[in-house]
Structure 1
Amino acid sequence: MSRKSVFLLAATVVMLYFSIILFMLSPLHGAKSIVTGSIYMDYGLKAHGFPAENMTDGSVLIVKTHGVPPLDSESYKFHSAVLLIRNPRDAILADYNRLYKGHIGTAPKYVFKKRSPNSKISDWAAHVYQQLRDWEGLHYKWLSQFPGAIHIVFYEVLVRETRKELNKILQFLNYTVSEEDMNCAMLNKEGIYRRKKKFQDFDPYTKDMYKGLDKIRQRILRLINVYQKKNNVTFVGLKGYL
């Protein structure tokens, strides 16, 4: 597949909210532009370092989505995918923080006990159990239904070994950058969208929630193992992640 004809769909967990614009090394209008797009239009992101929001054509290197793979053959234009997986415990909590305090804020403790009228459980508990189903369903569909090649990246490994993981992603994309570009990416890898861990001693998850987390993680682990064997690929970080 030629690079020009390949559009890559970056799949992240629904509630991840970690920047998938991994290679934004210069602005769109620069002499050399390496940017990634998105199926969404977040004007806040567009104004603060993500100039290719809502761009899904060949002018961007890769396209972000938090959703399931598009399977409509007539309109299908994405032939490969980078699947960025984050531990569901952290992903679900990050999304709950986002719901109450945006991209970088932290939800106050009292909202974890809040309960809607006529509900038998807290809003937090309802959120967790719904997102557990969504998290598993999203990964199941990508790993079992997407017909193209998939490169899996584990969020925790990406954070810990950013340069190495970026090089692997670039290799999968069949795209080469200079050492200067990579150094620039490393220098600016965090940006402004970093949530402060305000409550270090606060764990909103119950024992039953942890049991649910462990069950879906193990099911996705088995599915990833099946995918690896079927496609003769190996994803680094799998054992440490799950």
Structure 2
Amino acid sequence: MAVALCRLNCLLRRARVLLLCLGIAYLMAGSVLLLQRSGVRVAHPNPAGLAPPPPLSALAAPPTALRAGGLGVRARSRWAAVRHVSGGGGGAKAGRHWPASQNLGVHHLHRRWFHSLLPETPQQRASVLRSGRHKVRNIHYRGCFKLPKSTIDKLAIDSSQPNLTAQSCIGTCTDKELPLAVFREPHCFCTWTSSLFSLNLQSDNHKCSGNDTGAANVTFPSQHDHFQVYHTPVLDSRCKERMFLPQRSSSLVALSSFPGAGNTWVRHLIELVTGYYTGSFYFDGTLYNRGFKGEKDYWKSGRSICVKTHESGQKEIEMFDSAVLLIRNPYRSLMAEFNRKCAGHLGHATDAQWRSKEWPEFVSSYAPWWASHALSWLKWGRGLLVVHYEDLQAALLPQLRLITAFLNVTPTEERLLCAHSNQDGYFKRSGAKHPSFDPFSASMRKMIDSFINTVDQALQSRNFSRLPQEYLPR
């Protein structure tokens, strides 16, 4: 009996040692995978200037992220493999690295383990804290509206003073956490977003010019009066209500764009107008912390109304059943992405960074990708809806109706008004800070303009709307 117990104890000790070794091996394998996923390769600089762009047929995948003095890097989880592009046919310089998406089974693991949930740098975290609750949105003038007294009676009169101004009325409604300020001197009303203030119902602005009636006239509005309506910086609480799709979708819809083309902005608008979360092929902790809860969900779960992606490989494109292809002027896209790499979602690159060697290297790598991204989706994408960023800026509500119809969602009037009044979102860069000089050299412009013409011709051949005139005079 004693011998048997001794042998059993020895066997248990060996089993514990074996399990310990297996656990260590598992942790080491996980660490290696983490390093492979987050590793950044350095593209070799080109002291002689920009190399001629490689042929578009060779640009099926985006360039590697650059790491150099002061240039922030966000590793993209799908771009782990690297291949060399030959210098023939128009000739990228041999040795430039162009990653291709491979080993999808590994890359499609959940990304929450590999990324931080905080903004990129301590300075950006401090900036977010300093920004305040309401400073991230602008005040918008909705228009002049003729409202009956029966409607006005339903709105609380928050202030009625002889010297009341529109600005003080907006401040009052902001303090009361209400999104609309309805002003007619000396009366100020605060209310929720309503279809009563639809753009289709507004009057000519000159009819509100008589609102400045002076201090002597402190009467209540008559049966029908015109009022100036403003959107305060407060987001309507009803617009904050978002959820995942009630039933998992069997089809995947991509929201595809080149980096810097406004993907985050369009996701914000889609979530406001539909009430459903958007997903992402990646995971960005900063976006998750600012309300994009779909960032944490597995992109293929079917619970999101659409999925953000910057991928341009055939396999990645064909995994989606349909796609909204968002295209923006490459000059502005390149500058926006360079700003993000240097200073995060809300910051701006400094003049020193624009003058550094990283900027021409960035353009030589990313400008061909702008073209190859659009051409790849036009070639392999199924069920495409092409949306131009500039058209969305110029005619927000009509474009949003097109997008929601494509997504098989019928938005309510209140949702559309929410999107219109809170269109900026959290990630619009404050001000219009630009470098004090033109960062694009003549050789850069020649290369980018050739890509613009190529994409424009491809859109025309597929019967999609051509690129806006502002991209390149034709």
* CA deviation string 1:61-96 (max 9, x = no partner): 1110111155269xx652100000011100011111
Q: Is the 8 A contact 2:330 2:370 kept in 1?
A: yes
| 1:127 alignment counterpart | 362
Question: Secondary structure of the equivalent of 2:455?
Answer: helix
Distance of aligned partners of 1:110 and 1:72 in 2 relative to their CA distance in 1, 3 Å threshold: closer
Question: Does the Cα contact within 8 Å between 2:249 and 2:303 map onto a contact in 1?
Answer: no
Tell me which of the two structures has the higher relative contact order, counting C-alpha pairs closer than 8 angstroms and 6 or more residues apart.
Answer: 1
CA contact (8 A) 1:39 1:65 kept: yes
Distance in 2 (alpha carbons) for counterparts of 1:97 and 1:45: 17
Q: Which residue of 2 aligns with 1:88?
A: 330
State the aligned residue count. 220
Measured after TM superposition, the shift of residue 6 of structure 1 is 2.4
Cα deviations by residue, 1:195-239 (Å, 9 ceiling, x for unpaired):
2321374321111111111100000001111111xxxxx437645
Distance 1:40-1:237 versus aligned 2 partners, 3 A rule: same
Whether 1:13 and 2:258 are equivalent positions in the alignment is yes
The match for 1:171 among 375, 392, 405 is 405
Q: Which residues of 2 match residues 22-33 of structure 1 at below 5 A?
A: 22-25=269-272, 33=275
1:148-167 alignment, distance < 5 Å: 148-167=382-401
Matches of 1:218 and 1:5, distance apart in 2: 37
Aligned mate of 2:373, from 125, 130, 138:
138
User: Does residue 59 of the first structure (1) align with residue 294 of the second (2)?
Assistant: no
Could you tell which deviates more after superposition, 97-106 or 63-72? 63-72
Code of the aligned partner of 2:320: F
| Aligned with residue 276 of structure 2, among 9, 18, 34 | 34
Report the secondary structure of 1:208's partner residue.
helix
Confirm or deny: 8 A CA contact 1:157 1:237 kept in the other structure: no
SS at match of 1:25: helix
Deviation at 1:188, TM superposition (A): 1.7
Letter in 2 for 1:138: H
User: Would the alpha carbon gap of residues 96 and 240 (structure 1) be closer, same or farther in structure 2, given more than 3 Å must change?
Assistant: closer
Equivalent runs, 1:97-108 vs 2, <5 Å: 97-108=339-350
What TM-score do the two structures reach when normalised by structure 2?
0.44
CA contact (8 A) 2:350 2:435 kept: no
SS at match of 1:100: helix
Name the residue aligned to 2:427.
193
- Are 1:17 and 1:103, in contact at CA under 8 Å, matched by a contact in 2? no
Given the superposition, is the C-alpha separation of residues 72 and 217 from structure 1 closer, same or farther in structure 2, using an over 3 Å criterion?
closer
- The aligned residue for residue 68 of structure 1 is 312
2:465 matched residue in structure 1:
235
Change in CA separation of 1:171 and 1:160 when aligned onto 2, cut-off 3 Å? same
**Which sits farther off after the overlay, 177-186 or 85-94?**
177-186
Instruction: Give the aligned residue type for 1:160.
Output: A
Structure 1 pair 15/67, CA: closer, same or farther in 2 (3 Å)?
farther
Give 2:189's aligned residue: none
Q: Structure 1 vs Structure 2: percent identity of aligned residues?
A: 30
Is the CA contact (8 Å cut-off) linking 1:35 and 1:52 kept in structure 2?
Answer: yes
Contact 1:14–1:67 under 8 Å retained in 2? no
After TM superposition, the structure 1 stretch with the greater mean CA deviation from structure 2, 13-22 or 37-46, is: 13-22
How far, CA to CA, are the matches of 1:176 and 1:184 in structure 2?
14
Instruction: Give the Cα separation in 1 of the matches to 2:390 and 2:354.
Output: 25
1:203 aligns to what?
438
- What is the DSSP-based 3-state SS (H/G/I as helix, E as strand, rest coil) of the residue aligned with 1:10? strand
Q: Which residue of 2 aligns with 1:218?
A: 453
Q: CA deviation at 1:16?
A: 2.8
What residue in structure 1 maps to residue 121 of structure 2?
Answer: none
Write the distance in 2 (CA, Å) between the matches of 1:200 and 1:110: 9
In 1, the alpha carbon distance for the partners of 2:400 and 2:441 equals 35
Structure 2: distance between partners of 1:170 and 1:152? 13
Q: How does 1:105-116 map to 2 (within 5 A)?
A: 105-114=347-356
| Greater CA drift, 170-179 or 94-103 | 170-179
| Cα separation, 2, equivalents of 1:15 and 1:240 | 17
Distance 1:219 1:91 in 2: 17
Residues 48 and 94 of structure 1: is their aligned pair in 2 closer, same or farther, counting only changes over 3 Å?
Answer: same
Structure-2 change in CA distance of 1:63 and 1:125 (3 Å): same
- Residue 270 of structure 2 aligns with an amino acid whose one-letter code is F
Amino acid at match of 2:256: A
User: SS in structure 2 opposite 1:71?
Assistant: helix
Q: Which has the larger radius of gyration?
A: 2
